[in-house]
Amino acid sequence: MRRRRPITVTAASSVAVVGAAAVGIRTLIARQAAIARRRIGKPLGEQALDADRVWRRKKHPGPPVDLLLLGDSIAAGLGAGHRRDTLGARLAKGIARSQGRPVRLRTSAVVGSETSALTGQLAALPDQYRADVAVIVVGGNDVTHRIPASRAAGQLEGIVRALRDRGIPVVVGTCPDLGTLRAIPQPLRALAARSSRQLAAAQAAAVQRAGGRVVALARAVGPVFAERPDEMFSVDRFHPSALGYRRTAEALLPAVLAALTTARIPAHA
């Protein structure tokens, strides 16, 4: 019994040290999160520019291609200084150039949305509305709000399946690399980077199961955002700038065009 007592005491002491360390880490992370919120602020407000219209109508004749955007502030285009620079507008113009047809953009994405909000975004569309292709960009808010990756990915899979059941091809830009956000201090930035990678991987698997196409934004545009943050980010150092949206649209466009080609767009008005 006497021989076991020091071991028990040592074990108890170790547990106490680990517990204290965990509390210290949580406190540090909470402080750094508060610092990040102060640095980023809301200089852009919470309302993205309205870019919904028929793009390139004068340049290209014929019935428009219907493009639907779902997701968070990136999908909505927050940070763009002009509606032509939003993600939706950039994609619309790229589709129009490739297809030789005008593109009707409908943005159902809402600033601040987590993946759970996609159900409401889809439900808000008119019953008779049918897109020729849907693009979803979501995930950043799930990471910052600490939503489990498995839950968010499951919710995304459900939305992709619902769109595919309607015959709508879907392209998903997976969660961007939050490690490129210099406004977030270390070690919180490293944790955010790891969480965003985990969510992106879970999203990719979920979207593929549901029959959608995947574009890994962290791999496609993450490096240029990390190397050129002053150009790629808007004034809040969190959302893309006009150039950031152009690069993001360029990364998504090949998958969107492939989805449209596979679907064989019907010529409807």
Active-site entry in 73, 113, 195, 196: 73
With a CB cutoff of 8 Å and minimum separation 6, the contacts of 72 are: 109, 110, 111, 112, 113, 114, 137, 138, 139, 140, 141
Which has the closest alpha carbon to 69: 100, 91, 97, 54? 91
Cis peptide before 187 (omega within 30 of 0): yes
Q: Is 165 among the catalytic positions?
A: no
**Helix axis angle, 188-210 relative to 149-165, nearest 10°?**
30
Q: Torsions phi, psi of 65, nearest 5?
A: -80, 135
Q: Is 239 among the catalytic positions?
A: yes
Q: Is 73 among the catalytic positions?
A: yes
For residues 149-162, one letter each, b for 16 or more C-beta atoms within 10 angstroms of the residue's C-beta and e for the rest, the string is: beebbebbbbbbbb
Catalytic positions are 73, 236, 239
